[in-house]
Amino acid sequence: MTFDLYVWKSPRDLDADRAEDLIGRWNDAGGDPARSPFEPSADVGWFNRELAKDEPGLETSSDAEPNPDTAPIWLSARSERPARVVGIRLARATSRDTLDTIFGLAAKYDLVVFDTRSRRVHLPLEALAAHAGATFWPAGAIQAAVAGGVGALIAVVAWLLGIPLISGLVALIGGFLVVMAAFTFVRAGRRALSSRRGRGESPPGR
């Protein structure tokens, strides 16, 4: 039985042809999820559990064990067992919100999504990271700069007040904001540099 979407953890370095061939040979052999050619991961188990909870009307197939726990995911005391794959069948009436849920959960657990309809391999988490990097300048940079400036001001004022314990804690919070702002700029700068190198562009000053 074939599905519209297949979700797994690894391997990740597959193009559409290789993914299609892998799934085709597996389906020809019976299509048993427990015998699928993907690496088992607890992330797939968690994805399957959350998807079943958020979108109970979806038709899915997986080697993940059903979890009867009705408590919220964040309160769960039971860890999910590793699973290999989740196959998802989409209907014409499948809403955009449902697709957003699928890809959002795939990003949350850093999974691979293969869309057999468009023959595309998606890495939702990497796509989100790339989008965040592309949209960091200038709005994100301004926000990071403001946060860093406020943090520095808080730290200086707290230090000058010299109130025992309280000043130390407030200064620590301000210092944390400064460090996080600096880290944000460094990380965004590295992404921008990597992106330019990937496109064959030389970094500034070269």
pLDDT per position as a tens digit, 75-113? 665 678 999 999 999 998 899 999 999 999 999 999 999
Give the model's pLDDT for residue 42.
94
Give the model's pLDDT for residue 136.
43
* Inter-residue contact 181 to 144 (CB < 8 Å): yes
Tokens of 88: 């998802």
Question: What is the CB neighbour count within 10 angstroms for residue 119?
Answer: 12
Give the model's pLDDT for residue 135.
46
* Percentage of the chain exceeding pLDDT 90: 48
d(C-alpha 87, C-alpha 43), whole Å: 15
SS3 annotation, 8-58: ECCCCCCCHHHHHHHHHHHHHCCCCHHHCCCCCEHHHHHHHHHHHHHCCCC
What is the pLDDT averaged over residues 36-61?
94
Give the model's pLDDT for residue 101.
94
| Neighbouring-strand partners of residue 5 | 88, 115
* Percentage of the chain exceeding pLDDT 70: 57
Rounded (5°) CA angle 10-12-16:
120
Give the model's pLDDT for residue 67.
75
What is the pLDDT averaged over residues 156-166?
59
d(C-alpha 52, C-alpha 48), whole Å: 6
d(C-alpha 29, C-alpha 179), whole Å: 54
For residue 203, name the pLDDT band (cuts at 50, 70, 90): very low
d(C-alpha 62, C-alpha 33), whole Å: 6
For residue 31, name the pLDDT band (cuts at 50, 70, 90): very high
Q: Cα(first)–Cα(last) distance of the chain, in Å?
A: 55
